[in-house]
Amino acid sequence: MKLLRFLDQQGRICLGEPAGPRLARPLISAPGDPAVFAPHPVTIQTYLPPVEPPNIFAIGRNYREHVAETGARLPEAPLIFEKPTTALTGHETDIMLPEAAPNEVDFEAELAIVIGRIARRVPREKALDHVFGYTCANDVSARDCQRLDRQWTRAKGFDAFCPLGPWLVTADELQPDHLAIRSRLNGQLMQESSTSRMIFSCADLISYLSHQFTLLPNTVILTGTPEGVGFARRPPVFLRAGDRIEVEIEGIGTLSNVVRGSGAITA
């Protein structure tokens, strides 16, 4: 099942299933009951992130080829960092170039896990039982801040630096370890890989994280990006105002955002 959050034309926050370009059938069943959707679609005014997470955990250097292109060593354990929830934005909303660091903003196509029930010290073989679903993510990163700060909080935490969407696909419909993943910049293919190339699988990551922190429902885990990011290219390729960046994951769909200069965010 595909589920999305959106604002309708009256500005109300709705849950629903996609029913066409900028159309959705709102969920009308009560929480906990089998999902029932309205028979007639409504217009999506604004796409929202598919979930409202209490935390966003992210994993660095989790694809072998990406590790190689950065010149780093293969990690012995998952490399964890966090993105603030204020970085969230949805499908077809704007990625803003921050005033503090507009010049080296980069893209990272990632599979995002959404936790469905509390996970605490979960063994690997039971880890995927705690997943509600999966969505596309773009771990937008200001590389100059990353290089200057020598840690990643500021570089990856600016407003609108965590697009999610366009919707969530429930875990019963997806096998997460063999999905094609791509990014395109203005229609040009930039990244192309498979989640099978991850160093640590989705089950590995959930189990490992749950032994460090309690994972609450709706927690989002970004699972790392494959090779082809902008800063590793020669010459480097960074996002500029007017660019359209897309993240496509097999079985989910395509997350698309336009880049804007600093100023008011528009939908």
Domains, the chain, ranges and CATH? 1-48 (2.30.30), 49-260 (3.90.850.10)
Residue in this structure with the two tokens 């029913």, named with its chain if needed: 19
- pLDDT above 90 as % of the chain: 95
Helical ranges in the chain per DSSP H:
64-70, 143-149, 202-210
Selection from 222, 223, 161, 198 nearest residue 67 by Cα: 198
pLDDT, residue 33, reads 85
Mean per-residue pLDDT of the chain: 96
Q: Is the pLDDT of residue 267 over 50?
A: no
Least confident of 70-74, 111-115, 228-232: 70-74
pLDDT, residue 263, reads 52
Q: Could you give the C-alpha distances from 251 to 102, 120, 133, 188, 207, in angstroms and in order?
A: 33, 28, 12, 21, 24
Dist CA 188 CA 185 (whole Å): 5
Dist CA 182 CA 110 (whole Å): 9
- Banded pLDDT at 8 (limits 50, 70, 90): very high
Structural Rg of the chain based on CA atoms: 18
Other C-beta atoms lying within 10 Å of the C-beta of residue 112: 29
Q: What's the longest Cα–Cα distance across the chain?
A: 53
Q: How big is the CA angle at 194 (ends 188 and 195), to the nearest 5 degrees?
A: 130
Phi, psi of 74 (to 5 degrees): -65, 130
Q: Is the pLDDT of residue 88 over 60?
A: yes
For residues 38 and 25, the answer to whether their CB atoms sit within 8 Å is yes
Q: Is the pLDDT of residue 170 over 60?
A: yes
Q: How big is the CA angle at 170 (ends 165 and 174), to the nearest 5 degrees?
A: 95
pLDDT, residue 252, reads 99
pLDDT, residue 30, reads 73
Least confident of 29-33, 66-70, 116-120, 127-131: 29-33
Q: Provide mean pLDDT across the span 212-230.
A: 99
What is the per-residue pLDDT across 118-158, written as a single tens digit (0 to 9) for each?
Answer: 999 999 999 999 999 999 999 999 999 999 999 999 999 99
Residues in the chain: 267
Q: Is the pLDDT of residue 90 over 60?
A: yes
